[in-house]
Amino acid sequence: MTKLSRRVLEMEESVTLAASARAMALKAEGRDILSLTLGEPDFVTPENIQDAALSSIKNGKASFYTAASGLPELKDAISTYMENFYGYAVPRNQVVVATGAKFILYAAFATLIDPGDEVIIPTPCWVSYVDQVKMLDGVPVTFQTTEENDFKATVAQLEAARTDKTKLILLNSPSNPTGMIYSRDELEAIGNWALEHDILILADDIYGRLVYNGNEFTAISSLSEALRKQTIVVNGVSKTYAMTGWRVGFAVAEPEIIAGIAKIVSQTTSNLTAVSQYAAIEALTGDQSSIEIMRQAFEERLNTIYPLLAEVPGFEVIKPQGAFYLFPNVKKAMAMKGFTDVTDFTNAILEEAQVALVTGAGFGAPNNIRLSYASDMETLKEAVRRIKAFMEK
Ligand code: PMP
Ligand code: GLU
């Protein structure tokens, strides 16, 4: 008899983390691999944030447990952030902090889903949503968005996916992996539909500050009082502040939902590491100038790499509006090289071009491949040059 639970046996490892680990292992063997796998800023955490963390260690504040749901000062900092970027402040009982937006998502699903409850997740979508819902015996209901609609779900598609078991929908804008942003009108239509059917909205806004070339992010929770109440905002500092390693995520929602998430945090991880909380306070309330410098660097990389990638034979790519991924359709490229499976194609690029990318399969996109441009310009240019040479061979 197997010792492992059905839960674990049926689960997939995160394909993004697996692809990155594989690239690192090959590099450690001495292979000249360029890795464009992980969605992780290549910048070091800004110095003011480092200093705040160091002083919390030195003055002894970081030595102790904090409230499981997070430091009151951090909740206040998040409220200020919400006021600045969402247009509304929140009391402390509407904020919870935990170990990365990834765990916040898991705890939010655990708070809201009973076995058999359905969560509508438009695809392509980030790799962890579907497995997290499954881990909790929820039912992920996915459907393909179209490239013609910039990979965005329509109300008609959502309505077709709705049943009397639908509990919530997942919205991720700007999207990982597509980089697309829902417009205010689109969000209003989706919001009205959700309100009409009393379906909760889980809004993963983690890339909301990483938008380029004049594109703007609109938060669905900021559209009306009713939508604010209907939405669980998930956000964090990983991407905007170059703080992936610190593992800071937060949720903003109605007090009852926040109390549920906090209960799960209190019985699983306890508080998010205290030093990370002090760092996050400085990130959210301190000098913001490095944020714009990093955003501009991503924008410049996108504007340089996008046209180069579009020239690769068989690669068809829509220009993303935010986040830091390119998500070309490689159906023609696969046919040119005799592949039918995008994971095999991704592996061939790794073996022959020595460039590590992430297969679209994990995002529910069998014809796409993901390239993260959160890497320095030279690496990006060389990686695209290698991919092009591979396709031309
Ligand atoms: N949501 C999306 C869409 C992401 O791409 C990521 C990537 N890490 C996360 C949530 C989780 O972020 P973190 O756990 O680093 O806060
Ligand atoms: N979210 C990033 C990515 O998609 C980091 C890895 C992960 O958490 O999936 O690459």
- Encode burial over 328-365: b for 16+ CB neighbours within 10 A, e otherwise: bbbbebbeebebeebbebbbebbeebbbbbbbbbbbbb
C-alpha closest to that of 361 among 382, 339, 380, 381: 339
3-class DSSP state for residue 302? helix
Taking the mean position of all CA atoms in its chain, how far away is CA 316? 23
Q: Determine the distance separating the centroid of ligand 2 and the alpha carbon of 42, expressed in angstroms.
A: 13
Among residues 224, 254, 285, the one where a domain terminates is: 285
Q: Determine the distance separating the centroid of ligand 1 and the alpha carbon of 103, expressed in angstroms.
A: 9
Confidence class of residue 285 from pLDDT cuts 50, 70 and 90?
Answer: very high
Please give the number of the atom of ligand 2 that sits closest to the Cα of 127: 9
Which CATH number is 123's domain given? Answer: 3.40.640.10
322 lines ligand 1 (CB under 6 A): no
Residue nearest to atom 4 of ligand 2 (CA): 39
Whether residue 212 sits in one domain with residue 246:
yes
In a domain, 187, yes or no: yes
Residues 6+ apart with CB under 8 A from 220: 171, 173, 182, 187, 190, 191, 201, 203, 227, 231
Q: With contact defined as beta carbons under 8 Å apart, do 274 and 56 qualify?
A: yes
Whether residue 153 sits in one domain with residue 260:
yes
Which CATH number is 17's domain given? Answer: 3.90.1150.10
Whether residue 277 sits in one domain with residue 295:
no
- Residue listed under structure tokens 């070091």: 44
pLDDT exceeds cutoff 90 at 113: yes
DSSP letters, 183-207, are -HHHHHHHHHHHHHTT-EEEEE-TT
Q: What is the mean pLDDT of residues 148-152?
A: 95
Whether residue 277 sits in one domain with residue 304:
no
Ligand nearest to the CA of 363: 2
In a domain, 57, yes or no: no
Residue 15 identity (one-letter amino acid) = V
Taking the mean position of all CA atoms in its chain, how far away is CA 163? 26
Q: What percent of the chain has pLDDT over 90?
A: 97
236 lines ligand 1 (CB under 6 A): yes
Q: With contact defined as beta carbons under 8 Å apart, do 337 and 391 qualify?
A: yes
How high is the pLDDT of residue 2?
A: 82
pLDDT in tens, 222-237: 999 999 999 999 999 9
110 lines ligand 2 (CB under 6 A): no
Q: Record the tokens describing residue 249, joined without a space.
A: 């995520």
Euclidean distance between CA atoms 21 and 35, whole angstroms? 10
Q: Record the tokens describing residue 255, joined without a space.
A: 């007090």
In a domain, 56, yes or no: no
Whether residue 237 sits in one domain with residue 103:
yes
How high is the pLDDT of residue 1?
A: 75
Whether residue 93 sits in one domain with residue 151:
yes
Q: Determine the distance separating the centroid of ligand 1 and the alpha carbon of 192, expressed in angstroms.
A: 27
Q: Determine the distance separating the centroid of ligand 1 and the alpha carbon of 102, expressed in angstroms.
A: 5
* Domain assignment of residue 17, given as a range: 6-44+290-392
C-alpha closest to that of 148 among 22, 364, 316, 273: 316
3-class DSSP state for residue 205? coil
Whether residue 178 sits in one domain with residue 240:
yes
Cis peptide before 124, with omega less than 30 degrees from 0?
yes
Whether residue 312 sits in one domain with residue 213:
no
Cis peptide before 177, with omega less than 30 degrees from 0?
yes
In a domain, 309, yes or no: yes
Q: Determine the distance separating the centroid of ligand 2 and the alpha carbon of 14, expressed in angstroms.
A: 8
Euclidean distance between CA atoms 151 and 77, whole angstroms? 34
pLDDT in tens, 205-214: 999 999 999 9
Ligand 2: residue of 17, 178, 205, 238 to mutate (most ligand atoms within 8 A of CB) is 17
Among residues 243, 270, 285, the one where a domain terminates is: 285
41 lines ligand 1 (CB under 6 A): no
How high is the pLDDT of residue 65?
A: 97
102 lines ligand 2 (CB under 6 A): yes
Please give the number of the atom of ligand 1 that sits closest to the Cα of 207: 3
304 lines ligand 2 (CB under 6 A): no
Q: Record the tokens describing residue 82, joined without a space.
A: 């919400």
pLDDT in tens, 46-101: 999 999 999 999 999 999 999 999 999 999 999 999 999 999 999 999 999 999 99
Name the domain count of the chain: 2
38 lines ligand 2 (CB under 6 A): yes
Whether residue 234 sits in one domain with residue 144:
yes
Euclidean distance between CA atoms 250 and 100, whole angstroms? 7
Question: Residue 317, Cβ neighbours under 10 Å: how many?
Answer: 20
How high is the pLDDT of residue 59?
A: 97
Q: Record the tokens describing residue 341, joined without a space.
A: 């499976």
Whether residue 76 sits in one domain with residue 16:
no
pLDDT in tens, 317-342: 999 999 999 999 999 999 999 999 99
Q: Determine the distance separating the centroid of ligand 1 and the alpha carbon of 300, expressed in angstroms.
A: 22
Euclidean distance between CA atoms 120 and 104, whole angstroms? 18
